[in-house]
Amino acid sequence: MRVVTWNLWWRFGPWESRQKAVLGVLRELRPDVVGLQEVWSAGRENLAEWLAAELGMHWAWGPSPAPERWQRKVGDATVGIGDAVLSRWPVADHAVLPLPAPADVADGRVALHARLATPDYDIPFFTTHLTSAPHASAVRCRQVRALAEFVAERRGGTPFPPVVTGDFNAWPDSDEIRLFGGHRTAPAVPGQVFYDAWEYADPTAPAFTWDSANPYAAVALCPSSRIDYIHVGPPGPGGLGHVRGVRRAGDGPVDGVWPSDHAAVVADLDGG
């Protein structure tokens, strides 16, 4: 089973050209499930719906309940933002969790759950986008606690481990990532742990998902870092969900256009 997570940079930059580049990358990857962040909606149009139609996939949408700060950045109060899931299998159920944040950094971040109905078992799949303020590690710790509880409530009834994707806006050694993983410090939910899929990567492979080689990211003048993740619970029976390999994608221009300011992360999991 191929899983992708990708922050699509909303409607910033040359978004119409970029969405075609995003589609090109996803077509080449041929994923089974995709977690997307910074997905735009406008009236009856939705980027995730368009991608799903082009790729022949099912989709689920988790809109932000408070997009106003985002809208002010582009001067358009009609454009929404949220997270989305694309899936080759039907979405049997979905739910949206608004993430906690104090007023100074609150901008409507959410987590989206989609329960995917394969012929053999359900997959409890999640995607999220944590606050991006560099000083807000404590806020992200609150958010991952809420996320972990959200996962714990919805992960049961299937042998497949939960898969949690997203832009965590946090480095691998940060408090929030260690807290969510739960095996380098006490877990956010007792007994619930997750493995960072990138731990299975080739150590020599390019790892940064926020990379100064990308001109959209370079203008921020921030250090290159790995801030986008695919987290997987311990494998189920027979190694179900075990990470076979992981790598970056979308980490270069497509027909001269960079698809996003983030690179995607791609993981291949054992589907039994």
Q: What are phi and psi of 146, to 5 degrees?
A: -65, -40
73-132 tens-digit pLDDT: 999 999 999 999 999 999 999 999 999 999 999 999 999 999 999 999 999 999 999 999
189-237 tens-digit pLDDT: 999 999 999 999 999 999 999 999 999 999 999 999 999 999 999 999 9
Within 10 angstroms of residue 135's Cβ, the number of other Cβ atoms is: 8
40-60 tens-digit pLDDT: 999 999 999 999 999 999 999
Query: Taking a C-beta distance cutoff of 8 angstroms, is the pair 85, 34 a contact?
Result: yes
What's the CA angle centered on 255, arms 258 and 78, to 5 degrees?
A: 50
- Find out if CATH 3.20.20.80 is the number for domain 2-269: no
pLDDT, position 18: 98
Q: What is the mean pLDDT of residues 4-13?
A: 98
pLDDT, position 126: 98
- The tokens describing 239, both together, are 């190694």
Q: What are phi and psi of 59, to 5 degrees?
A: -150, 155
Q: Where are the domains of the chain?
A: 2-269
Question: What average pLDDT is seen over the chain?
Answer: 97
- The tokens describing 260, both together, are 């996003």
pLDDT of 247 above 70 = yes
Q: Residues of the chain with pLDDT > 90: what percent?
A: 99
Q: Which residue is it, tokens 């012929």? A: 119
Query: Taking a C-beta distance cutoff of 8 angstroms, is the pair 251, 217 a contact?
Result: no
Cα gap 183→56, rounded to integer Å: 38
pLDDT, position 112: 98
Cα gap 199→144, rounded to integer Å: 20
- Under the banding of pLDDT at 50, 70 and 90, the label for residue 3 is very high
Q: What is the mean pLDDT of residues 178-187?
A: 97
151 to 54, 83, 113, 144, 155: CA distances (angstroms): 30, 16, 8, 10, 6
pLDDT, position 81: 98
- Under the banding of pLDDT at 50, 70 and 90, the label for residue 272 is low
Cα gap 37→126, rounded to integer Å: 11
- Nearest partner of 6 among 143, 135, 29, judged by Cα: 29
146-158 tens-digit pLDDT: 999 999 999 999 9
- The tokens describing 95, both together, are 């739910």
272 to 33, 121, 238: CA distances (angstroms): 16, 10, 7
